[in-house]
Structure 1
């Protein structure tokens, strides 16, 4: 799977565009300025946007090609993003070191997903904010991107099980029209939430 992402991110174009995700744009002001982590961040479009808005931004992906693109985008936009390359289960960050964690289309294999989410939640301070957007189970009906394996897609029940010790400000599943680079185009079944760790 790592080879797949390195190949995709090695393409000349940005796979999901340079512009930030619209859900993030709409809700970034709900996150107090502080230290923020972007999970499986790919080519850096969302991390760079947060840096432009005054956050101390950290991000990671396990694709080396993603980091090359993310670093180039940060340089182009004249901002600083601390971008690391590692597997989600091996993350080096300290416990309770982030004010917010952002998941934008971060789909992990089902065999590690619950463990990955648990490890990431340990990085969040009490009352820290989670902003989450990913493909829902019904995305298999659409051709606008995302995993083709149903187990890697989300339901609200699964999210509530995997994000324990979280108070949900809202959680919903809806059809939206994606326009994010060449690989996220068209109607999509999306699940979103904003929550706080307690």
Structure 2
């Protein structure tokens, strides 16, 4: 993830060090420290659900939010999309740009807080949100903006930890219920989309050091009419 304000967790969440996530979510400095490690925090392969449905994203520009070190953004870019990756961590975005260049992918990186980012109107053919966890008021704001920012026919691809993840401490995701996304809430937040997939699943995850093992997640694939 990466934003100038400590308001959101994305492909760099997973902290469970006793912070009060309701009041003091980790800020950019924390993520810059994590992404300064020589090894990728969340691996280099794309998220499994994204890889499963990426072919459904129509031709055109794609926005990847809370993009971390760019593994998902690079994957989408290599499929031929013009991709913009947004994260609050300067280190994460620098790593993403470097890795994209190394594999010949074109990637636009933006260091920004999702609380302030201008998503635009009917701008994107696809928006990808993988492990973007936020407090409820910001979650509503950001996902409402995502719906408005999709072009007609544009696709939203999302995977987030569901409330059942609280029964799996240390496996990934924020350790407090309000930051987790249930499928029922996702249906309400994305009511403006035609939802082809909106489900809670239990599956094994192997994405770097911080997202590992049996997990409970919410998956969404939706299209703007």
One fold, TM greater than 0.5? yes
**1:42 matched to 2:42:** no
- Cα deviation for residue 93 of structure 1 reads 4.2
1:15 aligned partner: 41
Quote the offset at 1:17 in angstroms.
Answer: 0.3
Q: Displacement, 1:54?
A: 0.7
Structure number with the higher strand fraction is 1
Instruction: Give the equivalent residue in structure 1 for 2:220.
Output: 193
TM-score normalised by structure 1 residue count = 0.95
How far, CA to CA, are the matches of 2:45 and 2:192 in structure 1?
A: 32
**Superposition map of 1:74-153 within 5 A:** 74-142=100-168, 143-153=170-180
Alpha-carbon distance between aligned partners in 2 of 1:115 and 1:108, rounded to the nearest angstrom: 10
Contact kept in structure 1, 2:66 and 2:88, CA below 8 Å: yes
Indicate the SS of the match to 1:159: helix
Distance 1:122 1:33 in 2: 18
Give the paired residue count. 198
Runs of 4+ in 1 over 6 A off after TM superposition: none
Which structure has the highest helix share of the two? 1
Unaligned runs of 5+ in 1: none
| Cα RMSD after superposing both structures | 1.2
Instruction: Give the corresponding residue for 2:79.
Output: 53
Structure 2, unpaired ranges of 5+: 1-25
Q: Which structure is richer in relative contact order (CA contacts within 8 A, separation 6 or more)?
A: 2
